[in-house]
Chain A
């Protein structure tokens, strides 16, 4: 770093402080709302820090008493876990062999572009037939049906990420094993996949976050506690007649917690994935 005048150093520090405030303020405010008592939240002038800290809403949302707000919330939490988990596993399972094939076979490389192109399709272009098909198979309002639909997003995306991961593993290692008479499944299982484990893990993490974040299909294809995901449950709270803003904020904090923790702790892996592909809106 070059020599800098004192003014420049002060300017940089002030700008950095400003950026930190811009990034942190909304997230911190969400948390403060979740622990503020209702009188603090509707006070004028507004109390930026609650006079009474109220943690009861966390208890309300995480309790599973019948017919409570908590029961619906916990159900949607589990639905989100199930749908995102199943869709991620299925997407990785179909993506691994195809990503490897594209990576090792230049003659089919063009098919990857077809795969990436589908990623740009707006979901509204597929929504009507998917709705009719799910209705036909009785899979509306069903976690399996929703997980299946999520493959429209996750399968192309994981294939794309895994392909660039396999590209960075030298083919010579595989050729040596071929010389020794190893079968294809042995090569993949014993040599390539262990080497690609970090890439597969990153792809799975991204896929899970995408599915956790998804809202449009979940809004269309689920209607009650049997399949409704967290994003839909929160949108219901925010758009409904709920007057307890703290409860809405608490639901937001709980839904944001897993991706925020993944984001902070898996930073390095995520950023290398982000900057290589520049993904997710």
Chain B
């Protein structure tokens, strides 16, 4: 078989996938770009060409700027907390203790719980009148009276981040644990004989093994957090007073609640651009860590 035929055959085998991807991803993406230059409505009018109007309006609008900041804080705080708690949990799960295999198995539970069920569960826990969090904090004396955790702009985002963290830190822990198990025992033992302390052992022996998988987890979690929709929609719908309205919620409202397909599309593309920049920057970071460790 010639290499030419092998390449042609490969494309033929990929044809079904390519057709599907062009139909449900390629074409919609191109059409979103087209729409972003029009004043089309979701139903009815096709709209006419308006140039960069949508982009100018969207970027200069206070709604977008505020959503960008909210999304930034949500992503940075939830992802960094997940990474730190995840690594600590993995270090713990790598120690010897009674019931270790059971606890390792349980770590899959928050990951497997559907996102919407997780959001619903935490919404019930945060309930201002009957929620378990209020009951617990009041019963142990840490809180005087019941609070509306999701109903006050000051606590809503933090409450969302906690719920997101609980669901996602076990995934980081499982990834980190798998990496820890790959650290050769004799290296750890040798470093102890050489008199390395706990911190320097972690920094110079363990961390190099963790770095690669953790950076991948960091990339994927950050991109997911930037796109966040489900958990926020179910718990607060972007409220109160738009204090938890992340970019995806803003796009949803613009394109579907207000049916402004044109400006919704331009907003969606700005979000896409931001995620792409993140992804590219991270890919460079991964190459760098792969080169050093």
Whether the Cβ atoms of A149 and B35 lie closer than 8 Å is no
Could you name 13 residue pairs across A and B whose Cβ atoms are closer than 8 Å? Answer: A2-B189, A30-B121, A46-B132, A94-B20, A120-B275, A124-B248, A126-B24, A128-B261, A151-B20, A216-B230, A239-B237, A271-B178, A278-B216
A234 contacts B106, CB within 8 Å?
no
Contact check, A155 vs B21: say whether CB atoms are below 8 A apart. Answer: yes
Whether A97 pairs with B16 at a CB distance below 8 angstroms is: yes
Q: Which among A95, A129, A260 is the interface contact of B109 at CB below 8 angstroms?
A: A260
B256 touches A220 (CB 8 A): yes
Is B124 within 8 A of A249, CB to CB? Answer: yes
Contact with A along B249-286 (1 / 0, CB 8 A): 00110011000010011011101100110010000000
Residues of A within 8 A of B (CB-CB), count: 97
Bound complex: CA A260 to CA B6 (Å): 43
Q: Which residues of B contact A181 (CB under 8 A)?
A: none
Provide the residues of chain A in CB contact with B6, threshold 8 Å: 105, 107
* Nearest residue, chain B, Cβ from A16: B97
Within 8 A of B (CB), among A117-167: 117-118, 120-133, 135, 148-149, 151-152, 155-156, 159
Asked if B13 contacts A101 (CB within 8 A), the reply is yes
Chain A residues whose C-beta falls within 8 Å of the C-beta of B245 in the assembled complex: none
Residues in B with CB closer than 8 Å to A45 are 135, 138-139
Q: How far is the CA of A131 from the CA of B261 in the complex (A)?
A: 10
Number of residues in B with C-beta < 8 Å to the partner?
103
Q: Looking at the assembled complex, report how far the CB atom of A97 sits from the nearest CB atom of chain B, in whole angstroms.
A: 4
Taking the nearest CB of chain A, how far is it from the CB of B109, in angstroms?
6
A-contact 0/1 string along B214-252, CB 8 Å cutoff: 001100110111111110011001000000000010011
Does B157 count as interface, using CB distance less than 8 angstroms? no
The residues in A between 29 and 53 inclusive whose CB is less than 8 angstroms from any CB of B are: 29-30, 33, 41-42, 44-46
Stretch touching chain A among B49-57, B62-70, B112-120, B203-211: B112-120
State the A residues within 8 Å of B (CB). 1-2, 9, 12-13, 15-16, 19-20, 22-24, 26-27, 29-30, 33, 41-42, 44-46, 90, 93-95, 97-98, 100-102, 104-105, 107-108, 111, 115, 117-118, 120-133, 135, 148-149, 151-152, 155-156, 159, 184, 209, 212-213, 215-216, 219-220, 230-231, 234-235, 237-239, 245, 248-249, 251-252, 255-256, 259-260, 262-264, 267, 270-271, 274-275, 278-281
Would you call the interface of chain B mostly helix, strand, loop, or mixed? helix
A41 engages B14 (CB within 8 Å): no
Most interface-central of A42, A95, A131, A209 (chain B CB within 10 A): A131
Top-6 shortest CB links A-B: A263-B112, A281-B224, A46-B135, A129-B31, A105-B10, A101-B13
**One of B109, B121, B168 near A23 (C-beta < 8 A):** B109
User: Least Cβ distance of B225 to chain A in Å?
Assistant: 8
